[in-house]
Chain A
């Protein structure tokens, strides 16, 4: 059993689908954080069988929660203060995503105007379909 000490202050991202933690790490730009970050892969989970967990010793910019909801709506966000969970958040699919994913349509205006923000809107909440605000092309991973 691998032990990672509890957080005094920070954020725990729990119920990440197994194998997705590095993707989340990338989207949240955690490589640019100064604080300690622990990634736990394939932790045992009653609900999911296996899951990933990310512990961040520091504050997470709230705008980045968008990315979390997009990557997996079952991921939970636990805010830790003085060693205790003070807030548990469930995430919904965000209505818009700004500069989190990029449009891949070569005919889209974003393909030639580099300074434009890449904005996607939630076109179909049931199927989690996002479309580019400019060309309406569906985002595919």
Chain B
């Protein structure tokens, strides 16, 4: 049966564990997987700019021995001529074996999956979901903390439009003993539907504005960028963009083994002086992103490597 990844909850906890085990095996034995996708093609359909996600998908496919085709902006695709997502994916299905789609409009990858003959991976849709970043985040936490249970995680910055935040909260809500500290200005609070989920599952969360106050209790600090492209009003963006800046001084308030994660790119919400701190794991996180995408491509294509 054709499977897609549109939402981080599309995979059960057991399936996620299996996927992360595969990613770890890929990390440890890259040669074993070097030809796993021979003669397979990944289409990267990116209707809005991305460096990390697109290149990590392309890197993942190349490391599996496969090919890549696609476009990196709506201007260089038939979308500029008015072609629908449904028609585009019907065509892509003729040329590729699997598709990773990023789209500024929320729900576009779901529309694609309804008309596709190949697996569709949501590589980010507007401010909605970004499930492969979530898989990356989960793998990073599991690899560096040893478990996804019993963690206090602080999510800081733009929690309203930050799709990585929504996806990560949904995914972590399935593990035990998770506490969420939601750090944001009032205008960028987590959307109501995410809070509904936390309430429904009776999970601990606290909404605060002050990062310093939250720092000492965190096992993980997940920083996010205030995204200019999500604002309809430039003045609002300028007012919000420097609300939180993680500095060396603030890091002194944190536990010795706290991890700092960030989906990247960062602008100035993490001072570069923090990069040398051993607790800064956001570049390592980007590396895990490629391994988990390799595992995902293999899984959705139904390929097993002995």
Contacts and interface: CB of A to CB of B under 8 A. Distances in A.
Contacts of A131: 193
Contacts of B105: 107-109, 111-113
B104 A107 contact: yes
B104 to A, nearest CB: 7
B108 interface: yes
A138 B107 contact: no
B103 interface: yes
A68 interface: no
A136 B192 CA distance: 11
B110 interface: yes
B106 A108 contact: yes
Interface in B75-123: 84-86, 103-108, 110-111
B108 A109 contact: yes
A63 B155 CA distance: 44
B106 A113 contact: no
B85 A113 contact: yes
A51 interface: no
A21 interface: no
Contacts, number: 54
A115 to B, nearest CB: 7
A134 interface: yes
A2 to B, nearest CB: 44
A123 B110 CA distance: 18
Given A113-B85, A116-B111, 19 more contacts: A105-B106, A107-B105, A107-B127, A108-B106, A108-B126, A109-B105, A109-B106, A109-B125, A110-B107, A112-B105, A113-B105, A131-B193, A134-B106, A134-B108, A134-B111, A135-B107, A135-B126, A137-B106, A138-B192
A136 B128 contact: yes
A130 B72 CA distance: 34
Contacts of A112: 105
B101 to A, nearest CB: 11
B196 interface: yes
A15 interface: no
Interface of A: 105-113, 115-116, 123-124, 129, 131-138
Nearest to B106: A135
For the complex of A and B, 9 pairs with smallest distance between CB atoms? A134-B107, A135-B106, A109-B105, A109-B107, A107-B126, A109-B108, A135-B107, A107-B106, A108-B106
A133 B107 CA distance: 8
Interface in B210-266: 232
A123 to B, nearest CB: 7
A109 B193 contact: no
Contacts of A111: 105
A113 B84 contact: yes
A114 to B, nearest CB: 9
16 contacts: A108-B105, A109-B110, A109-B125, A110-B107, A113-B85, A113-B105, A116-B111, A123-B196, A124-B196, A131-B193, A132-B107, A134-B106, A134-B108, A135-B126, A136-B106, A138-B192
A124 B108 CA distance: 24
A25 to B, nearest CB: 30
Contacts of B86: 113
Contacts of B103: 109
B107 A123 contact: no
A133 to B, nearest CB: 7
A61 B37 CA distance: 51
A123 B200 CA distance: 12
